Structure 1
Amino acid sequence: CMAKLRIKPIQPGKFEMNILKKMTIALFLLLGGFIFLPPYFSPVFSQQAHFAVIRGFVVSGKNHPLQYANVQLAGTFDGDVADSSGFFSFKTRHFGKQILRATVIGYEPAEKVLHISPGDTLRVRLKLDETLIMLDEAVVTASAFSTGDKEGVTLKSLEVVTTPGAAADIFLAIKSFPGVAMVDEGSGLFVRGGDVNETITLLDQATVVHPYKFETPTGGVFGTISPFLLSGTFFSSGGFSAKYGNAMSGVLAMESQGMPKQQEYILGLGLAAASAAINTYLPGGKLGLRFSGNQSFTDAMFRLNGRREEFTRTPRSTDGNLSLIYKYSNTGTLKFFNFASTDRVGVHVNQPSFDGIFNGKETNMLHNLQWTDIVRGWLMKTSLSLNRFIGEKNLGNFNLKQEDDTYKLRTDMEKEMSPRLHLYTGWEFERQRNRFKGEVPVYQNVLDPQAQTYTLDESFFANRFGLYGEAEAQLHRRWFASLGVRGDYQQLARQWVADPRVSLRYQLSKTSDLRFSWGVYHQFPEPYLFNKEVGNPHLKAQQSRHWVLTFEHNKDNALFRIEAYYKSYDDLAIRANEINYANIGNGYSRGIDVFFKYGAYLLTRFNGWISYSFLQSRRLQARDLGGTYLHETAPSAFDITHNLTIVGKARLYQQLSLGLSYRYATGRPVTPVVDAIKQSPFNYYLPVEGRVNSERLPAFQRLDASMSVYVPFGYGNAAVFYLGISNLTNRKNVLDYDYSPDYSTRTPRTTNYRRFIYFGVSIMLMGT
């Protein structure tokens, strides 16, 4: 158990950072499915003559899609519920003159007269007028960015997967947002000076405890969940609502795709991966199925780009998804989402205490059953989930197997009580089981096989219960407010915490508004830190407070947002001399985030965005003096002062598109080694650290490019050929410093993510 504390310190371990250096090139593994086609490329299929098909979109008066709108033929049971893009589609045997009606909370109903004949396929657009200005999380709450097609949207799903350099990865694309620091080239989300563990990841209400592949102390090389499985995402870097708990910094909430609207067959083949997907439904439109699988084979990719000799086993990954969707009524849906992935890697690692081969294997599974329906005016969602993770790591005297099981039951409800008042409430129960078994070094990063080790076989359990309530109201013609509170209890801490949260919004004009958010955010320490031998069974919840002020202007194809924030930290669990860990840590982060976006992918000839963040972050941290700790207030390990991202995409000629992205980040803080103590009779040294994070790495810069060509063929079929080039200028970014065996000299460790080429094709075939 002691070793677990050693291998997941606040400052990332040297040997794991070295592994990260070797693996970041594998970001392009996901490019086997780099491009997917938007719904408006999809053809309309002929139906059997005894059916008619009604399909179309439900939009607001501002032409924003209206998710969950109920669309129905009056006097019948035939209808559908609009998805995140406002799209609906259903079959009917009711012919002749019919009235199509659409309703959704907060809008006036809309009707349209249809004349239906057998074999018809009718396309309808229904526009609903607002009964008041709608309030949702992306509008009222500060620091929110959504990739779904919702009001207040900043980046749509298609834009996320086509961001140059993001390798079609949700996490890497989100790192182009303001407020997320570029700590390294991996996909870990370090939000406004917070640790990667301070951001929670959810999928259809289920907690994704291990959201990264090829895990490292800074998150991982890329995200576990493919964007092609998602209908949209919601990301907040602060000031989020009472709906989300046990997170001090950020929230990433994802929604998986629902009922297929048509039959699709998708094939992908790239330099390092192959993929296949089937989306279909049974006659009657009540039962749908989505299946996808991906297999990577990176040997050829690394040979082409000159990195094959660094691996004994090139990174390999296999994953699969099976989703069953049952629509038992016009408003009710059951969705059974299943995902599993396995990753392996073998890479050569140099360390002052050991030179050898790192072998790693990870298995990650998520099973989630979600029920959605409207009951007596309440929109209700309930999910039951299991997330299982098994990880094995071996390097020198380090040999550890980790098993995590997380069970969760959650319910969320919302209702319009009046035209000016909406209520939200819900609860959740989560049970975690962690087991660690193996051998780990007594001294962190001393991996010599002759060095002392701990033998581990420990299990930890933690139960947490949470509940929340929130009200959103229109106080006056231009004033809106959101007031919420949540409570959480964890049995290891034996503590209830209460988190009040408030958001105010003043509408300056039809296109501009000013928002203020304040809230308290608690997060319980990891279960293993409560161990009485090497942790502290008396640890309590850690706490942060957010103050956020936002100005936003959104008109036509342009959006501008500037945000100032201050975040305080108290009761952080850090290393202590008397009792291993104690709630004595504190600190703050403050800064300004700026975001400008123009255009929409495939809808305007040019689109892109610019994001900039200024950050100052300080924390009380423990400095290792060789068995004792000196506490110092210093820049956090995630204090990246300046972050700048520029993304641009353009259609050059007909179906030929080009994208470029440029990233700049201040070098991250590092703690220098100022001395070393030789351990006789062994041939290794223990480092002595200087002042915590008193130095910085050189600035990080990278330019990425992508190009794609869309080629339609047959009836509604299409192929997309693509080329990606990472680090176009071949810049040698410094990731860390390597030390000699006695720590007397150090040399910069530059990235292996040099100029890197990837290409492939994605093919979409339409069924009948």
Structure 2
Amino acid sequence: MKIIYICLVQLIFISAYMSLYGQENTVKGLISDENNAPLAFVNVSIAGTIDGTSSEEDGMFELETSAFGTVILKATLLGYEDYSKEINIPQQDKLIIVLKPNAKVLSEVVVSASSFQLKGGSPDNLKSAVELVTVAGSDGDLYKAMSVLPGVQAAGTDGKLLVRGGESRESQTYIDDMHVLNPYSSTPENTAARGRYSPFLFDGISFQLGGYSSEYSQGLSSILPLSTKDESRVSKLGASILNVGAGAGGTKSWAQSSASFNVDYTNLGPYENFLYSRGRGEWIKPYSTLSAQNQLRFNIGENSVLKTYFAYDKTRFERVTKNNFSTNERNLNFNEDNTYLNTTFRTKSKSGFNFFSGAALSVNDKRIMGGLVAEDRVGMKESELHLKTKISKRFSDTYKLGVGAESMIRAYNFSYADTATFSSDIDHSINGLYVMNDFILASDLFLNISSRLEYTSINKSWNVLPRISLSYAYNDYTILATYGKYQQLADRDYLLYNNELKTEICQHFLFGVHHQSKNKVYRAELYHKTYDNLVTGSNYNYKASGKGFSNGVDLFFSDTQFLKNWQYTLAYSYNNSKRSFLKYTEKVTPEYVTQHNASITLKYNLFKYKTIWAVTNRFASGRPYHNPNKAGIMNSETSPYNSLDFCVTYLAHKKVIVYASASNVLNRSNVFGYNYSSQKNSSGKFDRVAIQSDRNQFFVIGLFITLGGKTAYDPSTF
């Protein structure tokens, strides 16, 4: 830990020294509403930088920045339309900014409980990419940043999203409304996975924890829709240097189009050699990834956008490892190639129809040697072609109609070779039609009635999946109620042995009360979920006879201005889940469920010194596990989970960003369960091994440098 603190202190002092040579400019102004009443706590910032401030009680603001020349000034406040204006720095005259109220129109209303607009899409809960990655402990990862939200449980050793009592595969990711088959990177055992895509890629990030739109499929618990930028007007080039790798990227902008690229290389070899790791083996080839991303955008006419997004990454590692309670070591060699490509086209006709069509291809190819025993060979290749089209139109001030159709064509091949060879294939498709009806019943009363008809070829079944949601707004309060029915195919590894497994079903019942005023957000939500057709059985003999439920309450509090330049978020979740699944013939609490989860995040925006400090503390009650020494099922529980995380983001120069993050600074050894031996030892007990992360702590230090262009480089440049 001393090394971490020394590195952080040295980095901050070096950056502070660099900033002494940057020229500071001041932008002053007055912000008011249309009635000339001053507006306080308005967020004012320079686009492409972390330079910002907020207005005082009298509406006055004073922003210090090292930017120079032509920049974009932005001003945002809940309940008002976003304001942006091109200004020249140094600014001689005092700016006069007038914010207009945000009128609610049908095309902007999202009638959905349990939805967090993390970035874009709505003025409510609006956040920038910088705000997301400055969540302490996120290490710049989108999925880790979302773990502080209510309803999201403390992740286990794999680091994937666990939402409201559901396992990680119940959460699905979409990019530009197109499905992503493999959103997480592959990692060694007991090492947290990362999202493959940077939050800087996206204009819109809307995390929907339940009761989500009928447009989306194959997620029993939650949906994460991500939207890439429709245009990029700034050309720039940059590079990043981190203690775990390096990267480079840039954007070239033209009048009606733009092209962006990004390349990153990660190698944990130096990191592993420098710091202690608790891994049960030695590295032969350290964990490394090489990733490349590219996006092309074309504005065709006034209301049409064509976009193509491509991402590829290769992951490799080899280490000496062994199974639990075994002295036989083997070399585990892992190779993975993952490719994602989507193309989307959006247009709006003069008659008011909105058209969308898209195609996405996901291919994931894993090759493993020494997966179970020495020298065995495992192959897993999975692909999906997603085709989709939809159309919508607002026919009146009170009614909007949307319809769509899609098909997911999937293929999966699994092979295993040792003394014998086994191979199996699954080829199937999922086809869906949906209709969405949005109504304004009164000025503050909104209704959505939707239905989805879905057919799965693998078990030749049709299902009707209805959804209804009601929202009522009164002053600063919104009351929401939602019912929805959702389905998802059983996991591919079970379908290999029984391709007639019924589709898993989950029904959501949600009720929530939200309060928003100025910079404060208070939310409380109750939910109840019922599960049917869960997979049961073991030893390659599976059927869909499991049932279950999950219910609880989520609380969320946020104040972005409770003290000047300070903000906090506080989240608490209670979850009660039981299900019969796999070897458990009776309903039990799954081993990945934590009943109590809480997090508190504090941020301090030191605008004068261009620094954002953040601290996050996460807490979770223990996880259930089965102890063979005792009678019963899952009658034991691990110790509680706790992690204190810290990060700092510093604009050392108008073209240099410094980022440092340290997770679990108290070095707590969190336990996520136990593996027990199959036989008793000489004392008549079962030996056990704790399930823990491969490393207690992780830290990242990086420099993000602009090589060309006028604005500061962000880690993706997209």
State the TM-score, normalizing by the size of structure 2: 0.81
Q: Which residue in the other structure is 2:477 paired with?
A: 512
* Amino acid aligned to 1:401: G
C-alpha separation in 1, matches of 2:96 and 2:312: 39
- The unaligned stretches of length 5 or more in structure 2 are 1-44, 52-66, 87-94, 681-685, 711-718
The 5 Å alignment of 1:689-700 reads: 691-700=632-641
Q: Which residue in the other structure is 1:69 paired with?
A: none
Q: 2:48 aligns with which of 29, 36, 39?
A: 39
C-alpha separation in 2, matches of 1:357 and 1:620: 36
Deviation at 1:694, TM superposition (A): 2.7
- How many residue pairs align between the two structures? 629
Tell me: CA distance 1:463–1:750, structure 2 relative to 1, closer, same or farther (3 Å).
closer
Deviation at 1:130, TM superposition (A): 6.0
Deviation at 1:757, TM superposition (A): 3.5
C-alpha separation in 1, matches of 2:214 and 2:676: 46
The CA deviation string for residues 296-317 of structure 1, in whole angstroms up to 9 with x for no partner, is: 1222222222239742222111
Q: Which residue in the other structure is 1:251 paired with?
A: 223
Q: Is the CA contact 2:190–2:691 (under 8 Å) kept in the aligned structure 1?
A: no
* Amino acid aligned to 1:143: S
Q: Which residue in the other structure is 1:753 paired with?
A: 695
Q: Which residue in the other structure is 1:352 paired with?
A: 325
Deviation at 1:673, TM superposition (A): 4.0
Q: Which residue in the other structure is 1:147 paired with?
A: 118
The 5 Å alignment of 1:100-249 reads: 132-134=104-106, 136=108, 139-149=110-120, 150-153=122-125, 155-214=127-186, 221-249=193-221
Q: Which residue in the other structure is 2:661 paired with?
A: 724
The CA deviation string for residues 628-655 of structure 1, in whole angstroms up to 9 with x for no partner, is: xx61211123321011111111034522
C-alpha separation in 2, matches of 1:211 and 1:236: 16
C-alpha separation in 1, matches of 2:670 and 2:490: 34
* Amino acid aligned to 1:640: T
Range with bigger deviation, 647-656 or 399-408: 647-656
1:383 partnered with 2:358: yes
Q: Which residue in the other structure is 2:709 paired with?
A: 767
Deviation at 1:40, TM superposition (A): 5.3
* Amino acid aligned to 1:514: I
The 5 Å alignment of 1:636-655 reads: 636-652=590-606, 654-655=609-610
Deviation at 1:610, TM superposition (A): 1.0
C-alpha separation in 2, matches of 1:663 and 1:546: 27
Q: Which residue in the other structure is 1:280 paired with?
A: 252
C-alpha separation in 2, matches of 1:158 and 1:165: 14
C-alpha separation in 2, matches of 1:238 and 1:408: 23
The CA deviation string for residues 425-464 of structure 1, in whole angstroms up to 9 with x for no partner, is: 2111110011112237xxxxxxxxxxxx762222211111
The CA deviation string for residues 278-331 of structure 1, in whole angstroms up to 9 with x for no partner, is: 01113xx12211011101122222222223974222211110111111112111
Q: Which residue in the other structure is 1:679 paired with?
A: none
Tell me: CA distance 1:741–1:132, structure 2 relative to 1, closer, same or farther (3 Å).
closer
Q: 1:610 aligns with which of 553, 570, 574?
A: 570
Q: 1:573 aligns with which of 529, 535, 549?
A: 535
Q: Which residue in the other structure is 1:392 paired with?
A: 367
Q: Which residue in the other structure is 2:551 paired with?
A: 590
C-alpha separation in 1, matches of 2:78 and 2:669: 51
Tell me: CA distance 1:693–1:155, structure 2 relative to 1, closer, same or farther (3 Å).
farther
* Amino acid aligned to 1:146: Q
* Amino acid aligned to 1:565: Y
RMSD over equivalenced CA pairs, Å: 3.1
The CA deviation string for residues 732-756 of structure 1, in whole angstroms up to 9 with x for no partner, is: 1123335568453224354443344
Q: Is the CA contact 2:488–2:504 (under 8 Å) kept in the aligned structure 1?
A: yes
* Amino acid aligned to 1:657: I
Q: Which residue in the other structure is 1:670 paired with?
A: 625
The CA deviation string for residues 231-273 of structure 1, in whole angstroms up to 9 with x for no partner, is: 2211111111211122211101111233211112221101111
C-alpha separation in 1, matches of 2:69 and 2:469: 47
C-alpha separation in 1, matches of 2:649 and 2:321: 36
Tell me: CA distance 1:409–1:462, structure 2 relative to 1, closer, same or farther (3 Å).
same
C-alpha separation in 2, matches of 1:155 and 1:59: 11
SS of the residue aligned with 2:528? strand
* Amino acid aligned to 1:513: T
Q: Which residue in the other structure is 1:104 paired with?
A: none
Q: Which residue in the other structure is 2:342 paired with?
A: 368
Q: Is the CA contact 2:676–2:688 (under 8 Å) kept in the aligned structure 1?
A: yes
1:291 partnered with 2:261: yes
Q: 1:430 aligns with which of 408, 411, 417?
A: 408
C-alpha separation in 2, matches of 1:544 and 1:642: 22
Q: Which residue in the other structure is 1:659 paired with?
A: 614
SS of the residue aligned with 1:341? strand
* Amino acid aligned to 2:592: F
Q: Is the CA contact 1:367–1:387 (under 8 Å) kept in the aligned structure 2?
A: yes
SS of the residue aligned with 2:502? coil
State the TM-score, normalizing by the size of structure 1: 0.76
- The unaligned stretches of length 5 or more in structure 1 are 1-35, 47-52, 66-85, 90-122, 441-452, 624-629, 675-688
The CA deviation string for residues 129-180 of structure 1, in whole angstroms up to 9 with x for no partner, is: 666455656x420100122222333544322111111111111111111111
C-alpha separation in 2, matches of 1:360 and 1:694: 36
Range with bigger deviation, 302-311 or 175-184: 302-311
C-alpha separation in 1, matches of 2:670 and 2:77: 47
Tell me: CA distance 1:611–1:130, structure 2 relative to 1, closer, same or farther (3 Å).
closer
Q: Is the CA contact 1:60–1:129 (under 8 Å) kept in the aligned structure 2?
A: no
Q: Which residue in the other structure is 1:78 paired with?
A: none
Q: 1:466 aligns with which of 432, 441, 452?
A: 432
C-alpha separation in 2, matches of 1:331 and 1:58: 26
C-alpha separation in 2, matches of 1:182 and 1:392: 30
The CA deviation string for residues 22-46 of structure 1, in whole angstroms up to 9 with x for no partner, is: xxxxxxxxxxxxxx99535696867
C-alpha separation in 2, matches of 1:214 and 1:528: 17
1:704 partnered with 2:704: no
Q: What is the aligned-residue identity percentage?
A: 22
Deviation at 1:727, TM superposition (A): 1.1
Q: Is the CA contact 1:237–1:250 (under 8 Å) kept in the aligned structure 2?
A: yes
1:555 partnered with 2:508: no
* Amino acid aligned to 2:409: R
C-alpha separation in 1, matches of 2:495 and 2:692: 38
Deviation at 1:481, TM superposition (A): 0.9
C-alpha separation in 2, matches of 1:600 and 1:323: 36
Q: Is the CA contact 2:180–2:362 (under 8 Å) kept in the aligned structure 1?
A: yes
